């Protein structure tokens, strides 16, 4: 073998070593990227939006108009939760019964939204005067709560 063929073989071997070294390093980066993507997909599945309904009863000191109180209740949610959380949780009053002083509140959001709304309902009478809102039952189906309305 002459000198040129030995140099060519040495260069080929060196290039193979370099390719294997970069392939190992690139594989490490690719596996880290795949791990982050799988974690992001798992997080996305956990934060899916679900509907929950809360049956509440209004207890008032004097005779107040429940329809006006419900409008002030929506403003109270905005003040206590903030505009972004109220929009993110999708809080609306789905149904009102003035005879039994009860209402159904719809919450559309992730699992934390229901907890925030229930905490807000439990402290609203301390911060705002008027009626006390007592949560009676929560459900995923509105038809179950309509029977109690």
**Predicted pLDDT of residue 104:** 92
Tens of pLDDT along 26-36? 877 877 777 77
Domain ranges of the chain: 1-46, 50-148
Kindly state which CATH superfamily the domain 50-148 is placed in.
Answer: Ribonuclease P, Pop5 subunit (3.30.70.3250)
Phi, psi of 49 (to 5 degrees): -85, 135
Estimate the crossing angle of helix 66-81 against helix 111-127, to 10 degrees. 110
pTM of the model: 0.64
């Amino acid at each position: 073998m002459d000198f040129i063929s030995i140099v060519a073989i040495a260069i080929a071997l060196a290039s193979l070593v370099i390719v294997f070294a970069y392939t190992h390093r690139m594989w490490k980066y690719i596996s880290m990227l795949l791990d982050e993507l799988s974690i992001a997909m798992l997080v996305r599945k956990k934060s899916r939006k679900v509907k929950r309904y809360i049956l509440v009863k209004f207890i008032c000191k004097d005779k107040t108009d429940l329809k006006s109180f419900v409008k002030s209740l929506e403003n109270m949610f905005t003040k206590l939760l903030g505009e972004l959380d109220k929009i993110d949780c999708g809080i609306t009053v789905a149904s009102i019964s003035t005879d039994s002083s009860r209402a159904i509140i719809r919450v559309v959001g992730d699992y934390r939204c229901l907890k925030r709304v229930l905490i807000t309902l439990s402290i609203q009478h301390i911060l705002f005067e008027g009626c006390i809102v007592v949560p009676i039952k929560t459900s995923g189906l509105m038809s179950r709560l309509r029977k109690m309305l």
